[in-house]
């Protein structure tokens, strides 16, 4: 899947807001606010349930990485997520 198409599909799902569970959360991390080198995908089946996490990382910006963005779309679809939430911006990791 084309990276722009994947990003648009994710943005469309995020724009809908909270619609219930299951819920997917996306949070981006990086050394600076300009480049996200890691994305953490959180899956919550129901309210109060333990969040399951999966991490993807790249040496380049994961938001522009075609394989990672396509994988995020597939995860959302396969989880049959009713809600997709995304943390704004990039959280800076201090090393």
Domain ranges for the chain? 25-55+86-90
Whole-model pTM over 0.95:
no
Residue among 19, 6, 34 at smallest CA distance from 85 = 19
Residues linked to residue 90 through DSSP beta bridges, in sequence order: 28
Residues linked to residue 32 through DSSP beta bridges, in sequence order: 35
Is residue 10 within 8 A of residue 73, CB to CB? The reply is yes
Average pLDDT over residues 40-54: 96
Q: How confident is the model at residue 1 (pLDDT cuts 50, 70, 90)?
A: confident
- The reported pLDDT for the residue numbered 93 is 76
pLDDT > 60? residue 23: yes
């Amino acid at each position: 899947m084309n990276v722009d198409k994947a990003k648009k599909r994710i943005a469309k799902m995020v724009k809908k807001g909270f619609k219930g569970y299951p819920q997917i959360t996306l949070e981006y991390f990086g050394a600076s606010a300009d480049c996200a080198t890691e994305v953490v995908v959180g899956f919550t089946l129901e309210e109060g349930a333990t969040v399951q996490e999966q991490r993807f990382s790249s040496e380049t910006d994961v938001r522009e990485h075609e394989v990672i963005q396509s994988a995020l779309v597939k995860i959302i679809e396969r989880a049959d997520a009713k809600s997709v939430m995304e943390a704004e911006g990039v959280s800076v990791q201090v090393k």
